[in-house]
């Protein structure tokens, strides 16, 4: 029987969360009426992830990196290795809830013009996390500066399957043929904005992206909560700027920088007046947003790791 869905998971030093991700896939596979496979790419972890993944009964193939590489490059490698018609991209911190795979698969089967479909993401406490948005433009940056983004930019709303501009790759099913036609993901985006660029290129090639709220996944966000390291803020800012320059213009990128920096500055001032809030993180966003060409991001941190360091 041919493979219909290939689960594609990139893991970087998150053994416990990876195991939860794989356990959830095992539950999903038991209910699927079609053949699937599970590919895990370990991004040079040293926490026992490789041994756990190798021993897990659900894993079809384990790809072990000796050197750390970017998310876009790793996702592309998994899709190229996959045998399925559809590739379900998952972060290692994503935990599919029952029926998610079937709902995502059904969305693409029912809409042959769709190149990708994203799941509804939930926080561990059950609250919904925004997971689909309009493409970044000066207009969406203005909406953010006016704090209207929840109404004008976020598209992961409602209970019905709907077309959106882009969806988060924490749980994103991709039509493999469509991904191949547009040249997979762009490795210039080490991490952050990689799926935005991917969905934009799908749109430019005539494909749509869907938001499928019937498919739910818990997104543990181990890398996005608490104290966000400065290098992540730098990487986020530089790739936001890279996207704008790639798909719009230098002028548009400059406008987005200043509008986004304004929004972070307002948040920093508000955080300074509220007990229990740290304005320093928002000021770091302001600095990185205005000067995305400065500072050490995750690409440099990975290079340091590959040279034998430990900063990531």
Residue 276 CA: distances (Å) to CA of 8, 59, 271, 304: 39, 43, 8, 34
Q: Do residues 63 and 155 make contact, with C-beta atoms less than 8 angstroms apart?
A: no
Helices 194-204, 71-81: inter-axial angle, 10-degree rounding:
50
Band (pLDDT 50/70/90 cuts) for residue 312 is very low
- DSSP string over 158-208: SSS-EEESEE-TTEEEEEHHHHHHTTS--TT-SSSSHHHHHHHHHHHTT-E
State the average pLDDT over residues 177-187: 97
Q: Are 249 and 138 in contact (CB under 8 A)?
A: no
pLDDT in tens, 133-152: 999 999 999 999 999 999 99
Average pLDDT for 146-172: 96
- Using DSSP, state whether 142 is helix, strand or coil: helix
89-118 pLDDT, tens digit each: 999 999 999 999 999 999 999 999 999 999
pLDDT tens, position by position, 55-75:
999 999 999 999 999 999 999
Structure pTM?
Answer: 0.94
Phi then psi for residue 118, to 5 deg, are: -105, 150
118 contacts 112 by C-beta, under 8 angstroms: no
């Amino acid at each position: 029987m041919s493979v219909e869905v290939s689960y594609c998971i990139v893991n970087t030093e998150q053994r416990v969360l990876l195991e939860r991700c794989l356990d959830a896939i095992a539950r999903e596979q038991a209910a699927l009426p079609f053949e699937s496979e599970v590919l895990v790419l370990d991004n040079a972890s040293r926490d026992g992830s490789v041994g756990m993944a190798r021993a897990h009964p659900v894993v079809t193939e384990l790809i072990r990196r000796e050197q750390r590489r970017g998310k876009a490059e790793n996702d592309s490698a998994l899709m190229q290795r996959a045998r399925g018609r559809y590739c379900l991209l998952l972060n290692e911190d994503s935990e599919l809830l029952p029926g998610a795979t079937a709902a995502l698969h059904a969305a693409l089967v029912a809409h042959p013009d769709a190149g990708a479909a994203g799941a509804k993401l939930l926080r561990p406490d059950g609250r919904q996390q925004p997971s689909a948005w309009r493409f970044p433009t000066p207009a969406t940056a203005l909406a953010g500066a006016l704090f209207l983004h929840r109404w004008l930019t976020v598209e992961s709303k409602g209970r019905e399957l709907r077309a959106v501009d882009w969806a988060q790759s924490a749980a994103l099913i991709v039509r493999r043929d469509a991904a191949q036609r547009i040249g997979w993901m762009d490795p210039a985006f080490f991490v952050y904005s990689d799926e935005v660029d991917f969905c934009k290129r799908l749109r430019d090639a005539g494909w749509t992206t869907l938001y499928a709220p019937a498919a739910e996944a818990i997104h543990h966000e181990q890398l996005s909560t608490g104290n966000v390291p400065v290098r992540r803020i730098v990487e986020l800012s530089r790739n936001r700027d890279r996207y704008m320059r790639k798909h719009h213009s230098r002028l548009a990128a400059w406008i987005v920088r200043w509008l986004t920096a304004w929004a972070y500055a307002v948040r920093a001032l508000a955080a300074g007046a509220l007990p229990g809030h740290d304005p320093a993180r928002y000021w770091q966003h302001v600095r990185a947003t205005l000067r995305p060409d400065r500072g050490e991001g995750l690409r440099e941190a990975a290079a340091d790791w590959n040279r034998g360091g430990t900063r990531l």
